[in-house]
């Protein structure tokens, strides 16, 4: 393990493991943020309000390079360039004050990773404190970081000198166990860089790292929720009737599921107390960071509907501020696994039961859709495929993660479901978004086993088994074709999406059995 203590020797004052109140004081004094009327810290991340996926690189070094899925996701960076960039970042921090949080990623002590987060901003240190797992005073006495993240938002790289794509960079070196993040104030890069690290380390130990949320019922039944941003992963796992394990990143070992994190990082645009009471309460709580959320500068009242800075407004808060959490931050083996998609074409069913082969197919596909207006140039729904529901963070070949899913699901007998939280009755602009109360009713029926006792029918375009009835849900919406006035238009749109799936899956066909590739074709 490398502690990179040489950096700390040349810095100015080093603030180590400050608590939330202390970091609030620093952030406000340094004008990094302001305090809302309810006690949350409001910050503005500047020009970048989301991840910079094109600016992320992995150092191509001997020990890891043969394991890496090189390509558009994992772009190589030379060791020489990394060391030169590291020297420039360390020189930049000379005589500057920095903040340190020593903490852990991974609630299971067998697999947890000690991480040291060194930040230029005080509020980034609070973010790290919220999102990672606290070390006890005894653990801090001899803390030895297994990985270090150095975040320097005000340092801009020079592509001509540093070999980066732009002034922004996120570069991971597994040999030095070091991540350099610069040129971006978006705090999500800090946590996602460590998620990337866990996605590399854990499969080497036969542990399945997952971009999913997790909760558990009163009888200990664990459920997983996979999904890309905007599909409901955080919202649906924050269920008042169930206890939360975590909202974003987990591992599945031979002993069960464990959270990587000590906090939650929820999208909050248009959030309401009625539809999402638990998360809404967190936006009103001391210790929460609100990123790019609109507010009245005079009253400090927050407007969660304000999207003037970004659609990607966020709240970061520690699990300990929530009432309905699993204290151990872990659970047993999942009984149900849900793949969430926000289908803006309006042709996917509200829920479908997947065969093991279909589970692998949809996991490798990782489908959701962008809607018009969310990004420049998006005029109509666009399919998005992110393998393993998190391609940006997968280091190994996708088949490595898919085979871990298959092994875990088959060994422990989990039921796998595909859930559409997107549109019904037509595509975006014509149909309407699925009511959250219907989605919650469908999930409840799956979780209690009620859906196992109803009649199913086979949907022809995606070869999916869909229930004909479910308590609390109008039966006519369960088959999406029934919700369209123009049936021919539905058929054309469904065929279009099915073709997009097939074209996307060609990349993975050679890595799986034919039964997986053919699982979406009607028999």
User: What is the pLDDT, as a whole number, of residue 373?
Assistant: 42
**Per-residue pLDDT at 4:** 81
Q: Which residues are catalytic?
A: 51, 192, 211, 229, 233-234, 248, 314
Q: Which domains does the chain have, with CATH numbers?
A: 5-32+51-205 (3.40.449.10), 264-319 (2.170.8.10), 333-520 (3.90.228.20)
H/E stretch holding 465: strand 464-467
224-274 per-position pLDDT tens digit: 999 998 898 988 998 889 999 999 999 999 999 999 999 999 999 999 999
* Residue 245: how many other CB atoms lie within 10 Å: 27
CA distance 498 to 492: 10
Average pLDDT of the chain, as a whole number: 95
C-alpha span between 33 and 291 (Å, rounded)? 10
In the predicted structure, residue 2 carries a pLDDT above the cut 80: no
pLDDT tier for residue 275 given thresholds of 50, 70 and 90: confident
Residue 372 has pLDDT above 60, yes or no: no
Instruction: Return the beta strands (E) in 66-137 as ranges.
Output: 75-77, 98-105, 113-119, 133-134
Residue at token pair 């493991």: 17
Global confidence as pTM: 0.94
Which pLDDT tens digit goes with each residue over 85-133?
999 999 999 999 999 999 999 999 999 999 999 999 999 999 999 999 9
Tell me the C-alpha to C-alpha distance, in Å, between residue 245 and each of 198, 221, 234, 320: 18, 12, 11, 11
């Amino acid at each position: 393990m490398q502690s990179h203590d040489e950096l700390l020797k040349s810095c100015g004052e080093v603030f180590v493991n400050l608590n939330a109140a202390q970091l609030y004081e620093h952030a406000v004094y340094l004008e990094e943020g302001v305090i809302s009327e309810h006690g949350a810290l409001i910050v503005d991340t500047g020009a970048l309000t989301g991840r910079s996926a094109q600016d992320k690189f992995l150092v191509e070094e001997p020990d890891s390079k043969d394991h890496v899925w090189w390509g558009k996701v994992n772009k190589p960076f030379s060791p020489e360039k990394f060391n030169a960039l590291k020297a420039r970042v360390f020189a930049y921090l000379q005589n500057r004050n920095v903040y340190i949080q020593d903490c852990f990623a991974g609630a299971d002590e067998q697999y947890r990773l000690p991480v040291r987060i060194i930040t230029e901003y005080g509020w980034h240190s609070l973010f790290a404190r919220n999102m990672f797992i606290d070390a006890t005073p005894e653990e801090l006495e001899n803390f030895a970081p297994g990985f270090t993240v150095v975040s320097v938002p005000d340092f801009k790289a020079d592509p001509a000198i540093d070999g980066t794509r732009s002034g922004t960079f996120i570069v991971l070196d597994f040999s030095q166990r070091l991540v350099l993040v610069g040129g971006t104030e978006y705090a999500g890069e800090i946590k996602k860089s460590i998620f990337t690290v866990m996605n590399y380390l854990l499969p080497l130990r036969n542990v399945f790292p997952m971009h999913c949320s997790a909760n558990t019922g009163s009888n200990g039944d664990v459920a997983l929720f996979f999904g890309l941003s905007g599909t409901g992963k955080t919202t649906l796992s924050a269920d008042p009737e169930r206890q939360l394990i975590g909202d974003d990143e987990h591992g599945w070992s031979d002993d069960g599921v464990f959270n990587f994190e000590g906090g939650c990082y929820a999208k909050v645009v248009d959030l309401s107390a009625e539809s999402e009471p638990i998360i809404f309460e967190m936006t009103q709580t001391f210790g929460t960071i609100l990123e790019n959320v609109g507010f009245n500068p005079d009253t400090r009242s927050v407007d969660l509907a304000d999207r003037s800075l970004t659609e990607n407004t966020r709240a970061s808060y520690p699990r300990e501020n929530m009432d309905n959490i699993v204290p151990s931050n872990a659970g047993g083996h999942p009984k149900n696994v849900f793949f969430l998609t926000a289908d803006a074409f309006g042709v996917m069913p509200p829920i479908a039961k997947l065969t093991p082969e279909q589970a692998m197919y949809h996991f490798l596909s990782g489908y959701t859709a962008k809607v018009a207006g969310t990004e420049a140039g998006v005029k109509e729904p666009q399919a998005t495929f992110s393998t393993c529901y998190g391609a940006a963070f997968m280091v190994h070949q996708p088949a490595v993660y898919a085979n871990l899913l298959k092994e875990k699901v088959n060994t422990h007998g989990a039921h796998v479901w595909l859930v559409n939280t997107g549109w019904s009755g037509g595509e975006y602009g014509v149909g309407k978004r699925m009511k959250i109360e219907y989605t919650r009713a469908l999930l409840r029926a799956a979780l209690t086993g009620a859906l196992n006792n109803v009649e199913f029918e086979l949907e022809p375009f995606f070869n999916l088994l869909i229930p004909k009835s479910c308590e609390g849900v109008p039966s006519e919406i369960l088959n999406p074709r029934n919700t369209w006035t123009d049936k021919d238009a539905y058929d054309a749109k469904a065929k279009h999406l099915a073709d997009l799936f097939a074209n996307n899956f060609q990349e993975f066909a050679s890595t799986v059995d034919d039964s997986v590739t053919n699982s979406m074709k009607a028999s």
